[in-house]
Amino acid sequence: MSEVNQKRARPKLIDISQTLRAGIPVWPGDTQYDSKTIWHIDEQCPVNVSWLHCSTHTGTHADAPYHYDQDGLMMANVALDAYIGECQVIDLSQQTISNNSISLSDCQALINTEDMAIERVLFKTYQHFPAQEWDENFVSISHELIDWLALNGCILVGIDSPSLDPQNAKNLAAHNAIKQHGMAILEGLVFDQVCAGKYELIALPLKLASLDASPVRAVLRTSET
């Protein structure tokens, strides 16, 4: 028997979430994040307890269908399957994106449709995520690309920008394409420490009744030898 110990592959977790904190950039006009500790550990109290106040779209978050469809499911009723499973990260951070909207031609060659189902596709558009300031010229996704992803079995689209649609969009073409195909959405992801490739995504939303979105703690799991 060989005395050389074979190292087993160990799972490695990569956090791709924004830290919820005072001063986190939010959509213009939306609720600023706030929090406060109201109970403090002392002679009379054995615990610290806090409250927080924020938009459901603060930081890294999942959109429920109710966000863009008056008759859509609210967050507590959304199926969780889309938020856990194999995914592909597509790195476009070095590319020039025409009109700040990712088209099929920008990334089709980068998406692997051969040796795995492309059920979850995450787009990296920033080389360095703008954690300290709002970027009104963020990159969005064309509805044609979403249509193509859906035809190839995609059930979730994620991106590091705040929205699949441009900031000033009124028709929400990308969100409506998501609605048409019954897909899930993650927005505001952080890929500074992530290379293009295959991972396992874990990004469960909170079970929030009657609400249109939820912050998530999103992670990628890979194998490290």
**In the chain, where are the structural domains located?**
11-19+57-224
Residue 40 annotated in active site: no
How many angstroms from the chain centroid is the CA of residue 145? 17
Q: How far apart are CA 168 and CA 5, in angstroms?
A: 58
pTM: 0.93
**How many other CB atoms are found less than 10 A from the CB of residue 34?**
10
Q: Which two tokens stand for residue 198?
A: 């295959």
**Does the CA dihedral 214-216-186-72 come out positive or negative?**
negative
Residue of 12, 10, 15 lying closest to 219 (CA atoms): 15
Query: CB of 25 within 8 A of CB of 132?
Result: yes
One of 67, 128, 143, 175 is an active-site residue; which one? 67
pLDDT in 10s for each residue of the chain, 225 residues: 444 445 566 779 999 999 999 999 999 999 999 999 999 999 999 999 999 999 999 999 999 999 999 999 999 999 999 999 999 999 999 999 999 999 999 998 898 877 556 899 999 999 999 999 999 999 999 999 999 999 999 999 999 999 999 999 999 999 999 999 999 999 999 999 999 999 999 999 999 999 999 999 999 999 765
Give the architecture-level CATH label for domain 11-19+57-224: 3-Layer(bba) Sandwich (3.50)
Helix axes 173-181, 143-151, angle to 10 degrees: 20
Torsion on CA atoms 105, 107, 109, 112, rounded to nearest 10 = -140
